Chain A
């Protein structure tokens, strides 16, 4: 009985240690406020290998990022929605462009002047 008690105690200490360790690790992993995904990689590729990072390619990558950000419950970073809206504009999808320019403005009111400029151009 005493032995089991001791055992379970060491066990719980071990479990606690593991939990603490996990907490430290997970805090490292999710140390960013935003879910960055491929946003900055896309920008890099857009300039260094434009043949690869076409608007269609970027839209696909960024839509996947939106899904992942939602599943991690993390917000998307400043500029993300605007950049996506701009990609839709490039491929002539005005409705989607409008949707994401509006999303940028809603998430970050600081962008309002620039986003309104784009939104009035679309109309």
Chain B
């Protein structure tokens, strides 16, 4: 009898432990998104406008813009040619992303005819020097809006930060490696590599990214 009870207590302890771990894991994840409006909108085509850039690195907008087509198209959507749309808008008196984001959906629908428009804002882009380390960050948020109803169908945010590793050799070595990576960063635009990862994560992360579109092969759905 005693054995029975102690076994039960042990089991409930284990269960408690397991469930508390589960709660911890869940707390660590972002809450699951509500995809009802997205699903109902039956989006086939997405127009991605050049991202607004709140960082001080001017390369941000077009670095990020050049990473969005692959993840979104591989998710199964038609993605309008991003560079052509940008050129076309510039030729029509909209010199920057900020102005392009102000164009009415009615006008966009009439000229380009997408099912949905994706508005991206780069909150951070580039490298900075933190505690003897060079840190490269890309923080972006996206909002997918129905071009028909104006409803927000999906929203997401990604934060990718990579710190340069210290090259060893104590303080001197750390300083040297930080200086080297800073030099590397400013010449090769390391943040572009981070953009590619950030974009992939923002749009394809299961449970957080975009739904599958009509061009997604059924076998990999």
Contacts and interface: CB of A to CB of B under 8 A. Distances in A.
Contact of A43 (B45, B59, B82, B112): B82
Interface in B70-99: 70, 73-74, 77-85, 87
Contacts of B87: 86
Contact of B73 (A34, A113, A114, A117): A34
A36 B59 contact: no
Contact of B83 (A32, A46, A78): A46
Given A44-B63, A77-B69, A110 B74 contact: no
Contact of B69 (A47, A48, A78, A86): A78
A1 to B, nearest CB: 45
Given A40-B67, A110-B78, A78 B73 contact: yes
B217 A33 contact: yes
A59 interface: no
A110 B44 contact: yes
Given A43-B82, A114-B80, A77 B66 contact: no
B113 A114 contact: yes
B65 interface: yes
Nearest to B83: A43
B74 to A, nearest CB: 6
B192 interface: yes
A111 B112 CA distance: 8
Contacts of B112: 113-114
28 contacts: A33-B74, A33-B215, A33-B217, A34-B73, A34-B74, A39-B69, A41-B66, A43-B82, A46-B83, A48-B59, A48-B62, A77-B70, A78-B73, A78-B78, A79-B82, A79-B84, A80-B81, A82-B80, A82-B84, A83-B81, A83-B83, A83-B84, A86-B81, A104-B81, A108-B78, A110-B78, A110-B113, A113-B111
Which are the 7 A-B pairs with shortest beta-carbon distances?
A47-B62, A79-B81, A113-B113, A110-B45, A44-B66, A110-B78, A43-B66
Given A47-B59, A48-B59, 19 more contacts: A33-B73, A34-B70, A40-B69, A40-B70, A43-B62, A43-B83, A47-B63, A47-B83, A79-B69, A79-B73, A79-B79, A79-B80, A79-B82, A82-B81, A110-B44, A111-B78, A111-B80, A113-B112, A113-B113
